[in-house]
Amino acid sequence: MKQTIFFCPPPPEGGFIRMLKAPFRGWGAKLALLLLLGSGVGQAQTLSLSQAIEQGTQAYPFLKSKQAEIRSAEKRIQSSRTEFLPSMIVQDQYTYATSNALNGSFFPNEGTSISTSGGIRPDNIYQGTTGSFLSAVIDWRVVNFGRVKANVKVAEADLHRSQIDYENELFQHQIRIVDAYLTLLVNQKLVDVQRANLQRAQTFKNVVDAGVRSGMRAGVDSSLATAEAVRARLQLLESEQREQVQRLRLSELIGQVQSGIRVDSMRFYTTLPQTNFQSDSISPKNPVLRFFQSQINLSSARTVALQRSMLPSISLVGAGWARGSGFTNADETFKMDFNRGLGYQAYNYLFGVVARWNLTNTLRVKQDYRAEQFQVERFRQLYNDQQLRITRQNREAETQLGLGLEQARQAPVQLRAARQAYNQAQARYQNGLADLPTLLQSFVTLNRAETDGYVATSNVWRFLLLKAAAEGDLSLFMNQIK
């Protein structure tokens, strides 16, 4: 990125400057002087508006978090698509257990089923032996009446919402950068105005003090001139404070807090924007409206997914397993063989079609479905609320822009009249035809006119920015400064 280095005006000569100008002895001292003077160069950079926007969109942490959210949504789509694949579970286990069984049924313990197979003994024998079991089960829900596809649509709608959310936040962040840029720019101009005003007040004070010392002016004139000079200095300090605060705010928005940023005036104070807008209607492509529309679409997709989850599913199942046991029951005698249980002795397979329909679960899902329908209505009304608000902002921006242009056109007239009044009052005061309070009033009027000129011009560009924000199109603003 191209950077422009500016040089600050040198401070008044004091003890430190005189010390630097003193003769240095040896190359080490000269090198130290060069390093000391060079350390202040390059600490500040002048940014154009496009550079500020580019830096802010690339480095701002919150925008990076939105990009991470998009990547997370992409992975959720891939995860939801795996539901099209069959479920396959493979296990291989080796056990050590007893073999005392009774005929009869039982309920599994929270999904954990303990096998009760084995020989029925006349007496309980608590000696255990080894066993082995290998199984592979495939469950493929080939017919789910669109449930899996609906879940994929939900994930895709969530990705679309995340992308629109990022685009909206990017647009809003660009608007904030431009607004901070314009605010810092006008604060820089106001600092220059107050600095010139202080210099004018100081020069005027010196002239009045000289007249008082010579006896040509009353002593009260010197006091009034001193008060005006102090007031001008306080105004300068206040404007510098506002400028520094705004500079820090802009640097935060571009991703790195620093106090050495200055902004380029570009065309903002040499020309006024054009206002020949063709339409004041709000486009549905507005990033804010698109975001709320994506919320409606996501909630609608969830509604469909909940509706599909109430339907049954048909699965193709297949299984194969092998088993070994250290118990021998072939001749109705009880024998244990530790090594025999580690190998497989019996092999089986199973194929079939299974239809599943959780009827009681539909009661809960039906309520979730109705709740999500209300969410759709909620986001629809939020969309209408935002549309109403943006329409108002658009009309308000047009009104303010028209009035701001008229104020900006009148500001030079005010400035010329204030300068003429100040020059006339100064001449009348020097010739003894006017008192000092009259001259001071013209002094204040001139300072206010200089300030109003920059503020009025800045307001026109900020009203145009407000119009671009309402339209959802930053190019409406950027095309005016190219």
Q: In angstroms, rounded to a whole number, what is the distance separating the alpha carbons of residues 482 and 479?
A: 5
pLDDT at 236: 95
Overall domain count for the chain: 1
pLDDT at 19: 34
Per-residue pLDDT of the chain (482 residues; tens, 9 = 90+): 333 333 333 333 333 333 333 333 444 443 333 333 343 334 456 888 999 999 999 999 999 999 999 999 999 999 999 999 999 999 999 988 888 777 777 777 776 777 767 677 777 878 888 889 999 999 999 998 999 999 999 999 999 999 999 999 999 999 999 999 999 999 999 999 999 999 999 988 888 888 887 777 777 888 888 999 999 999 999 999 999 999 999 999 998 888 888 888 888 888 888 877 655 566 778 999 999 999 999 999 999 999 999 999 999 999 999 998 888 766 656 677 778 788 888 899 999 999 999 998 899 999 999 999 999 999 999 999 999 999 999 999 999 999 999 999 999 999 999 999 999 988 888 887 888 888 889 989 999 999 999 999 999 999 999 999 999 999 999 998 87
pLDDT tens sequence across 387-444: 999 999 999 999 999 999 999 999 999 999 999 999 998 888 888 788 888 888 998 9
Q: Determine, yes or no, domain membership for 174.
A: yes
| In the block, residue with structure tokens 């100064």 | 426
Residue 455 class from Cβ within 10 Å (0-12 exposed, 13-18 middle, 19+ buried)?
middle
pLDDT at 332: 59
What CATH number does the domain containing 59 carry?
Answer: 1.20.1600.10
Q: Determine, yes or no, domain membership for 129.
A: no
Three-state DSSP at 318 gives strand
Q: In angstroms, rounded to a whole number, what is the distance separating the alpha carbons of residues 323 and 95?
A: 11
pLDDT at 279: 56
Distances (CA, A) of 59 to 25, 173, 246, 253, 254: 47, 12, 19, 9, 7
Q: Strand pairing of 346-356 and 313-325?
A: antiparallel
Q: In angstroms, rounded to a whole number, what is the distance separating the alpha carbons of residues 480 and 461?
A: 10
Note whether 350 and 335 are within 8 A (CB).
Answer: no
Q: Determine, yes or no, domain membership for 350.
A: no
End-to-end CA distance of the chain: 19
CA angle, residues 186, 189, 192, in degrees to nearest 5: 155
Q: Which two tokens stand for residue 91?
A: 């296990």
Looking at the DSSP assignment, which residues form a beta bridge with residue 352?
317
Q: Determine, yes or no, domain membership for 321.
A: no
Element of type H or E holding 288: helix 287-309
Strands in 346-356's sheet, in edge-to-edge order, are 87-97, 129-143, 313-325, 346-356
Note whether 425 and 434 are within 8 A (CB).
Answer: yes
Q: In angstroms, rounded to a whole number, what is the distance separating the alpha carbons of residues 217 and 206?
A: 12
Q: Which two tokens stand for residue 232?
A: 């001008």
Distances (CA, A) of 187 to 52, 112, 455: 17, 72, 9
Note whether 448 and 417 are within 8 A (CB).
Answer: no
Query: For residues 200, 205, 207 and 212, what is the CA-based torsion angle, rounded to 10 degrees?
Result: 170
Three-state DSSP at 275 gives coil
Q: Determine, yes or no, domain membership for 396.
A: yes
Q: Strand pairing of 335-336 and 327-328?
A: antiparallel
pLDDT at 45: 67
Note whether 287 and 472 are within 8 A (CB).
Answer: yes
pLDDT at 450: 94
The three-state DSSP-derived secondary structure of 46-71 is EECHHHHHHHHHHHCHHHHHHHHHHH
Note whether 453 and 412 are within 8 A (CB).
Answer: yes
Q: Which two tokens stand for residue 17?
A: 């400057």
Domain interval for residue 379: 15-76+153-296+372-478
**How is 206-272 classified by DSSP, letter by letter?**
HHHHHHHHTTSS-HHHHHHHHHHHHHHHHHHHHHHHHHHHHHHHHHHHTTS--S-EEE--TTTTT--
pLDDT at 281: 63
Q: Determine, yes or no, domain membership for 344.
A: no
Q: Determine, yes or no, domain membership for 132.
A: no
Distances (CA, A) of 245 to 48, 112, 142, 242, 318: 19, 65, 64, 5, 71
Q: Determine, yes or no, domain membership for 118.
A: no
